[in-house]
């Protein structure tokens, strides 16, 4: 390896310097080289490394957020699946249009089976809603307290949704009870009917 040699004039000047000046010159040269290395090489690399570290931290945070979002998606998918099962169960309990007459006949027959006298059985106009229709039937019945209790208990056990509204009870002279009420059932509207009802509401 060749040794770096200074020109004779520079070498003589350097050798003529005092030790203190030689040290200062060496320190200045070292400082200049260090500054050049810092600004030309180290600083750009350091900035790039810091930028990469910042990006890594940002990506790690995003990964954590995505994992949490994925967990929420799984929970929501389970809730949606459960809701669909519950909706299917409820829809199965809603009679369709062709079942309505048979269901109402069943209600009337239940009253006769438990010994009630049916003095009024009057279907009311259907009341469409956005997704379903309300189907009320006005009933007036006469019978004992036990017969009425049995009748309403059997209605509650039918595999269709039925509700008793506007219940009135009057004691008659012969100690029997006259009951007036509205039996309400529901049916799910077909998509075409839902659109029709939606248009009516928007007008």
The answer to whether the predicted template modeling score (pTM) of the entire model surpasses 0.85 is no
Same domain, 121 and 59: no
Last residue of a domain, one of 60, 75, 93: 93
Last residue of a domain, one of 93, 116, 135: 93
> Which pLDDT band, with edges at 50, 70 and 90, does 6 fall under?
very low
Same domain, 105 and 72: no
pLDDT over 70 at 143, yes or no? yes
- Domain count within the chain: 2
Place of tokens 């990964």: 63
> Which pLDDT band, with edges at 50, 70 and 90, does 142 fall under?
very high
Same domain, 86 and 103: no
Half-sphere exposure of 174 (CA within 13 A, CB side): 5
Same domain, 32 and 109: no
Q: Which domain does 187 fall in, by range? A: 97-202
Last residue of a domain, one of 51, 78, 93: 93
């Amino acid at each position: 390896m060749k040794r770096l040699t200074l020109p004779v004039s520079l070498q003589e000047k350097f050798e003529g310097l005092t030790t203190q000046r030689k040290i200062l010159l060496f320190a200045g040269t070292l400082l200049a080289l260090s500054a050049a290395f810092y600004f030309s090489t180290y600083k750009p690399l350091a900035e790039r490394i810091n930028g990469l570290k910042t990006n890594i931290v940002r990506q790690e945070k995003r990964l954590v957020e995505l994992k949490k979002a994925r967990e929420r998606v799984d929970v929501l998918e389970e809730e949606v699946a459960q809701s669909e099962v519950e909706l299917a169960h409820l829809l199965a309990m809603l009679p369709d249009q062709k079942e309505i007459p048979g269901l109402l006949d069943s209600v009337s027959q239940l009253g006769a089976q438990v010994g009630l006298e049916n003095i009024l059985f009057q279907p009311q106009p259907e009341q469409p809603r956005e997704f379903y229709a309300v189907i009320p039937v006005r009933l007036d019945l006469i019978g004992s307290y036990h017969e009425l209790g049995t009748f309403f208990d059997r209605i509650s056990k039918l595999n269709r949704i039925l509700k008793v509204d506007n219940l009135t009870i009057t004691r008659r002279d012969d100690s029997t009870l006259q009951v007036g009420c509205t039996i309400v059932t529901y049916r799910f509207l077909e998509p075409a009917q839902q659109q029709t009802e939606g248009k009516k509401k928007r007008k």
